[in-house]
Structure 1
Amino acid sequence: MFRNLLCACLAFAAVLAVSAPTRAASAYDIDVGVDATLDRFFANVRGARELANKSVGILVFPSVVKAGFGFGGEYGEGALRISGQQRSVDYYNTVSASVGFQLGIQERSVIIMFMTHSALEQFRRTAGWKIGADASVAVITVGIGGSIDTNKITSPVVGFILDPKGLMYNLTLEGTKISRINPR
C-alpha cells in the first residue's frame, strides 16, 4: 500500500513538473505561436477562415501540453484577438487536471471562437473562466482536408483541437480553466 501511494505521489509530482511552465512566455513568443497556429488551421481546413471572419473573438493556445501517469495535468498559454485583428488584446493560460487511466505526454493546439458579442463579453469579465461551468464549448471535429459548413454552426462558442500534423482530435475541453495572464 505504501509503495502504491509513493508511486502515485511521484507520478503526480512528475506531472506537475512537466505541465507547469518554469516561466511564462513573452507576449512576442505567444503571438508568433498564435500566428503559426492560425495559418496552419486556415491552410488545412476549408471554411476555417470564413468562420474566423464571422467570429467576434478568437482565443488561440498554440501549445497545450498534457502529461499523465494516473494523475494528469495540462497547461498552455495563448492570446485573444478580437474581430479579426492581427494583434492580441489579452493573454491567457489554460490549466486542467485529471485522474484516471492515462500515461504519457501529448501536445495539441486549441482554438476557441466566440461567435456572439455576449459570449465574448462573458468570457472577458469572468476571472478564471471554466469550460462546462461558465460556458459550454461545442468542439468541432474535422479531419485533414475536411471542411467546415459555417451555416450549420449555431453555438455561441466553438472550439477546435489540432495535433501538430493538423488533424483534429475528438476530445473535450470540459473542466478546463482559462485565466488572464501578464506575459513578460
Structure 2
Amino acid sequence: MTEFKEIRQAANEGVGYGDMTPVMTAFIALAVGEDQPALARSMMADHGNPGWQPALDTFDQAARQIMSDRLDVLERQTGDSVLACCLLADDPLVPGYLRLELRRKLAEGLRRFMPGMKPTGMDAAGRPCYRIEDVATAIGTSTEELQRMADDAGIDGTPAGSVSRIQ
C-alpha cells in the first residue's frame, strides 16, 4: 500500500497526511500495520469524527511521556540538558510531530541566544545542518567531547541523505 508508506513518511517527518493532523497521522502510522490497508483507510475516512479525540489525547500524552523519559536518559548520558535536547530532536523513539516541535523550539533558541551560529547546509528534508566544530564552540566544549557525548547517547549526527551546502 503506497499510501501507507506515505503516511509513515509524513509521520516520521512530523507532518499531517492529507487533511489529517500530525497526531492522527502518527497514530495511524504506529497503530496500523502495513498489512491492514482496510483498517488504515477506514481510520483515514473517519479521522474527523470527534470520537477519536480521547484516543488521540491519550496517544499524545503517552508520546510526550516517552519524550520526557528519553530526555531524562539522554541528560544522564551526556550530563548536558542542551545537548540532550539536541539529540532528542533526532531520536527515532520520539514521534515525528514532537521531534519537529522540538526542532522548531531549538531553532528559535539558536536564533535568539546564538545569533552568530549559522547552518552550513541543509539535509534532504530541509533541516539545517551545522559543523560539529561550530556547535562545540557555541556550547563551550571540544569537538572530541561533543562527539563522545553523541556516541555515548547512541546518536549518529550524520544527516540522512545528501546535504546541500549553503553559500
Question: What TM-score results when the alignment is normalised by the length of structure 1?
Answer: 0.33
Q: Which fold has the larger relative contact order, with Cα–Cα distance below 8 Å and residues 6 or more apart in sequence?
A: 1
Greater C-alpha radius of gyration: 2
Higher percent of residues as helix? 2
Question: What TM-score results when the alignment is normalised by the length of structure 2?
Answer: 0.35
